[in-house]
Amino acid sequence: MSAGYFPKRDKVGLEDLFKGLVTACHILHHNGIVDAYGHISVRSPDNAATFWMPSNMPPALVSSPDDLVEYDVDGAEPVEKNNTKPGYLERHIHSEMYKRYPAINCVVHSHAGDVLPYCVSGVPLKNTIHMAGFLGTNVPVWDAAGHYPSSSKHDLLVRDSTLGTSLAAALKPATSTGFIYSKVRSALPSQLGGSSSEPKMEPDHAVVLLQGHGFTTVAHGIEEAVYQAIYTKEAAKAQTTALTIQNAHTGYALEGKVDVGAGGKIKSGHAKVEGGGLKYLSDRESHDAWESISGTLTKPWALWCREVEVNPLYKNDCPGGGD
């Protein structure tokens, strides 16, 4: 948990939360994680049974508390019953993550173009850079096919709790071991399970890809979630570039027998790759890299805040000033 926009549990903390959530929307847009689509939410600091997210609008244009809506975790319906602000159709992504994982406080959903190829190609997204140690060595892919409720539209959108529940389960809850669990739980405040003898459920993965759709990342605070979203994109870019240049550089040697009389077809054999394979981070390297980086999240957060603060596109009218 980063020491930013979640731990405070008073009125001032809620104001800080609004300011941080609006800022996060701007940062995610500025870094190409969201465009007119995509969204971020955060669990309420004073009520774990609710969460806040913008109304259905482009993230770059979110600017004040009036643009935010509080939802119940159970059902994803507005807490304010006479609410007239339109909500994101896919808010069930967020509600079901919060419902299944009590220690998770922030969720980002994105359709970033650099990540999409790994949602459709069958090529696994695997970590190649130390800045994305949170990815671990295996990023799960969830496919909506087979999970649609009867009479539901088969449009890949997580438009109900049935699909949201299935997606949340793809992060594989860990109760005693697991990548995120083992490295982050010790830093959690006691009300979130840090000192409890019975651990709260946490996911075993920080990121899940959605087949033909995009990705979702979950975290313990806003800064952490934004960081993970940005570096999921950067890791995908690095892997794609590495695979491209490896393909261009690598040679192949034919091993096996060639039947010349049958038109030169290979009877038995295979193509042997020459030039080495792509090297991914090991489980230990991912573990230790994230442990080192996770304590420095205030540094990129400060930079990203300043970048959106001086950009006239973004406005943050939440109490306390600009971004």
- Known catalytic residue: 90? yes
How many CA within 13 A on the CB side of residue 200?
23
SS (H, E, C) the chain: CCCCCCCCCCHHHHHHHHHHHHHHHHHHHHCCCCCCCCEEEEEECCEEEEEEEECCCCHHHCCCHHHEEEEECCCCCECCCCCCCCCCCCHHHHHHHHHHCCCCCEEEEECCCCCCHHHHCCCCCCCCCHHHHHHCCCCCEECCCCCCCCCCCCCCCCCCHHHHHHHHHCCCEECCCCHHHHHHHHHCCHHHCCCCCCCCCEECCCEEEECCCEEEEEECCHHHHHHHHHHHHHHHHHHHHHHHHHHHHCEEEEEEEEEHHHCCEEEEEEEEEECCCCCCCCHHHHHHHHHHHHHHCHHHHHHHHHHHHCCCCCCCCCCCCCC
CB 137 within 8 A of CB 239: no
Beta bridge partners of 243: none
Length of the chain: 323
CA 257 to chain centre: 48
Q: Which of 15, 90, 223, 307 is catalytic?
A: 90
Q: Which residue has the tokens 């590495």?
A: 242
Q: What residue type is 87 in one-letter code?
A: G
Tokens (6 digits) for 292 = 């080192």
Cα 213 to its chain centre, rounded Å, is: 13
Question: Which residues belong to the active site?
Answer: 90
